[in-house]
């Protein structure tokens, strides 16, 4: 979403300037063309050369610099921007913006831009809660400026509380969300992700290799596109995407309950979870002790959540995943038909770069009318975007019918 987008990163002075370096790295990695403006105070903390090297663009510092004004002046910088981020933003910069003071390159360029301005404040907790600051922030919010609130924690000044610059990933996420077209506005998307765990006894369980990466990428992308997102997740070690409603579950039975309790309000359900098909007949209360001979576990079938969703009379747009090791297309087509789905994502999980526990995936998308779309090897993030492009297109066709 940020590919070739022009972003201005305004950096004002505070100890958190070093975190702006990480934010710049995230932005450029995502393909954004970033121009950095640093205030004089910011340059006391980190040298402009660091930002220049990472952005591959000269760092802008002076309003009255004849050479840089001739090459790319502050008005042309302001005009080019798709998004203007100020991180860290001091109480001083925010105060100036709120009062219309433009007395350096950063404030002048903000004043001249028509782009959305995303402000990530960082300051001492008492400054942050000071009514003067609160008024300034409120005024800017009313005028359409966006804020990424600071986090609570130990502050550089020794105080504890709110005022710590938000994590670079959080600011990055807010920037991406701002630049993503809101194609899923009005949709409620439920995504299931990760494995399920079927307990054998207090220390052992049956599970699978699912990392949850595909489901989390889908939830993140749907959230960026303006959908209300409910993420029903089995046990994974991933941070939930900001803004999604996270419901954590362990077993297939719990996942079923969580999904069926929420499906009523959903317009789209994407079942990316690798649900265990079987669970032990009984979960032992005490740890099973080692025996001399063989141990036999009796397993019973778990509910097929997706098939149950497919049987609902009023059902949302249903997307399933098919994890196959052979006969990929035939296996997926059978699941599409038998579970009464609108779309299925067929994964050959025997491929080392696709399926479980990797960052990439290659898939085929199969539809009810027999269409098949081949998706070459790509990142799970990219595949999530592609899947949601099709979901959006299919949902809007369905609405028009």
Site for ligand CTP contains 304 (CB under 6 A): yes
Instruction: Point out which span in 37-45, 209-217, 273-281, 370-378 binds ligand CTP (CB under 6 A).
Output: 273-281
Closer CB to ligand CTP, residue 126 or residue 327?
327
In terms of CB distance, is 82 or 307 closer to ligand CTP?
A: 307
By CB under 6 A, residue 335 contacts ligand CTP: yes
291 Cβ neighbours under 8 A, 6+ residues apart: none
- Note whether 310 binds ligand CTP by CB under 6 A: no
3 state DSSP class of 383:
helix
Catalytic residues: 157
Residue 200 or 275 having the CB closest to ligand CTP = 275
Q: How far is the CB of 322 from ligand CTP (least distance, A)?
A: 4
Q: How far is the CB of 196 from ligand CTP (least distance, A)?
A: 8
CB 203, min distance to ligand CTP, A: 24
DSSP secondary structure, 159-204, as one string: -EEEEEPPPHHHHHHHHHHHHS--TTTT-EEEEEESB--EEEETTE
Stretches 53-61, 199-207, 304-312, 363-371: which one binds ligand CTP (CB under 6 A)?
304-312
Q: Binder to ligand CTP among 197, 271, 279, 381 (CB under 6 A)? A: 271
- Single residue of 106, 190, 275, 354 touching ligand CTP by CB under 6 A: 275
110 vs 323 by CB, closer to ligand CTP: 323
Residue of 123, 273, 343, 383 interacting with ligand CTP (CB under 6 A): 273
Closest CA to 178 of 339, 32, 353, 372: 32
Q: Extract the tokens encoding 51.
A: 């930002």
Smallest distance from ligand CTP to CB 306, Å: 3
Residue of 105, 177, 322, 366 that binds ligand CTP (CB under 6 A): 322
d(CA 314, CA 312): 6
Tell me: does residue 148 bind ligand CTP (CB under 6 A): no
Q: 202 CB contacts (<8 Å, ≥6 apart)?
A: 284, 285, 286, 287
d(CA 44, CA 204): 55
Among 172, 205, 216, 321, binds ligand CTP (CB under 6 A): 321
Residue from the set 252, 258, 336, 365 that interacts with ligand CTP by CB under 6 A: 252
Give the C-alpha distances (Å, rounded to integers) separating 235 from 77, 324, 345, 390. 46, 22, 22, 28
Q: Does 302 bind ligand CTP (CB under 6 A)?
A: yes
Nearer to ligand CTP, 14 or 355 (CB): 355
| Residue 305 makes contact with ligand CTP by CB under 6 A | yes
Q: Answer yes or no whether residue 320 interacts with ligand CTP by CB under 6 A.
A: yes
Report H helices in 276-379: 305-310, 328-338
Dihedral, CA atoms, 15, 17, 21, 24, nearest 10 degrees? Answer: 150
Q: Which lies closer to ligand CTP via its Cβ, residue 220 or residue 256?
A: 256
Place of tokens 């966006």: 146
397 burial (CB, 10 Å; 0-12 / 13-18 / 19+) is exposed
In the numeric block, the tokens 């995407």 are attached to: 241
**Burial class of residue 224, CB neighbours in 10 A (0-12, 13-18, 19+):** buried
Binding site for ligand CTP (CB under 6 A): 252, 271, 273, 275, 277, 302, 304-306, 320-323, 335
């Amino acid at each position: 979403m940020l590919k070739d987008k022009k972003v201005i990163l305004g950096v004002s002075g505070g100890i958190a300037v070093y975190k702006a370096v990480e934010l710049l790295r995230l932005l450029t990695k995502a393909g954004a063309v970033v121009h950095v403006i640093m205030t004089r105070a910011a340059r006391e903390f980190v040298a402009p050369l660091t930002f220049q090297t990472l952005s591959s663009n000269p760092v802008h510092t002076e309003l009255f610099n004849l050479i840089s004004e001739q090459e790319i002046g502050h008005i042309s910088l302001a005009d080019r921007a798709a998004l203007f981020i100020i991180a860290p933003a001091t109480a001083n910069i925010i105060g100036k913006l709120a009062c219309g003071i433009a007395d350096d390159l950063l404030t002048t360029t903000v004043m001249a831009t028509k782009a959305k301005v995303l402000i990530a404040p960082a300051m001492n907790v008492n400054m942050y809660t000071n009514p003067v600051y609160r008024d300034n922030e409120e005024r800017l919010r009313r005028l359409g400026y966006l804020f990424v609130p600071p986090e609570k924690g130990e502050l550089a000044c020794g105080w504890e509380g709110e005022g710590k610059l938000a994590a670079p990933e959080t600011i990055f996420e807010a920037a991406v969300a701002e630049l993503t077209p809101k194609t899923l506005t009005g949709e409620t998307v439920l995504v299931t992700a990760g494995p399920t765990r079927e307990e054998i006894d207090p220390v052992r369980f049956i599970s699978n290799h699912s990392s949850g990466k595909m489901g989390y990428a889908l939830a993140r992308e749907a959230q960026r596109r303006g959908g209300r997102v409910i993420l029903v997740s089995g046990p994974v070690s991933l941070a939930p995407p900001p803004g999604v409603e996270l419901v954590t579950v362990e077993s297939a039975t719990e996942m079923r309950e969580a999904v069926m309790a929420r499906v009523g309000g959903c317009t789209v359900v994407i079942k990316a979870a690798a649900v265990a098909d079987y669970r032990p007949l009984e979960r032992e209360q005490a740890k099973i002790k080692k025996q001399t001979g063989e141990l036999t576990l009796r397993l019973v079938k778990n509910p097929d959540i997706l098939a149950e969703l497919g049987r609902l009379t009023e059902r949302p747009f249903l997307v399933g995943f098919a994890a196959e090791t052979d006969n990929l297309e035939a296996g997926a087509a059978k699941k599409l038909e038998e579970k009464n789905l609108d779309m299925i994502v067929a994964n050959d999980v025997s491929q080392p770069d696709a399926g479980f526990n990797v960052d990439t995936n290659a898939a085929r998308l199969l539809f009810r009318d027999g269409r098949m779309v081949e998706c070459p090897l790509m990142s799970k993030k990219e595949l999530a975007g592609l899947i949601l492009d099709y979901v959006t297109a299919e949902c809007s066709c369905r609405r028009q019918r």
